[in-house]
Amino acid sequence: MTKDWTNRTRTIHTSEGDILICGTTSPEILERLNVDLQLKAFRPAKKQKNALVGISRLADGKVVTAQMNGELVGYVTFHPPDEFERWSQGPRQVLELGAIEVTPKVRKYGVARNMLEIAFEDPFMEDFAVLVTEYYWHWDLEGTGMHVWEYREMMRRLMEHVHLAVKDTDEEDISSHPANMLMVRYGKNLSKSTIRDFEQLFFNE
C-alpha cells in the first residue's frame, strides 16, 4: 500500500504562466500529464514518465512534480535504494533521492529549489535518512555551459539548502571521479543507533 505522504503545494507565478509544485503526485495524475520532451537526462522523456509512474506506486515511493499548463516540466523522485546497492543493506528507514530534473525552459524560476523545499516540508520525511548520489555524467553540462566543477558546486549548494551534507565514502561509482559525491540528510525522528547503522555502509571494511 502506498504511503500516505503529505501533499503540500505551491505556485510559482511567471510571465509564461503558473508553475504548480506538488509535493506528492499520484500515479493517476502522472499518467494524465503530458511530458516536456526535454526531460531526457536519464532516459527518453516518455520512458522517464513511465518510470515516474512506477516509482509513485512503490510503498515508500514519492514523486514531486512541477507542472505547467498540464505538462510535466520537472520532478524529484524518492524511493528505497535498489536491492543491489549497498545502501539497501542497512536500516529500512532509508530513501534515495533518485533523480532531479527540470526542463531548460523553466530552470530560471527556481523550480528545483522549490521542489526540494516542498519535498522536505512533508513531516514523514523526518522518519528517513535520505541520500543522493551525484554523478557528473548525469549533469547537463552541455545545456548549461558549465564546467564540471561549477555544476558540482551548484548541486552541492542546492542540496545543502534542504540540509543534505556531503559524506565521505568508498562506494565505487562515487570514488571513480572526484566531482561525484554522496550527500545525506538525517530526519529528526531517526534514532542514533539507526544513524550509526546506516553510516557503517559508507565504507567497506
Look at residue 94 and tell me whether its pLDDT is greater than 50.
Answer: yes
- Cell numbers of 191, please? 534514532
Entry pTM? 0.94
Q: What are 15's three cell numbers?
A: 510571465
Q: Does domain 9-199 have CATH number 3.20.20.70?
A: no
pLDDT of 3: 61
- For 132, counting Cβ atoms within 10 Å of its Cβ (0-12 exposed, 13-18 middle, 19+ buried), the class is buried
Pairwise CA distance, residues 49 & 37, whole Å: 10
Q: What is the overall mean pLDDT for the chain?
A: 94
* Spans of all domains in the chain: 9-199
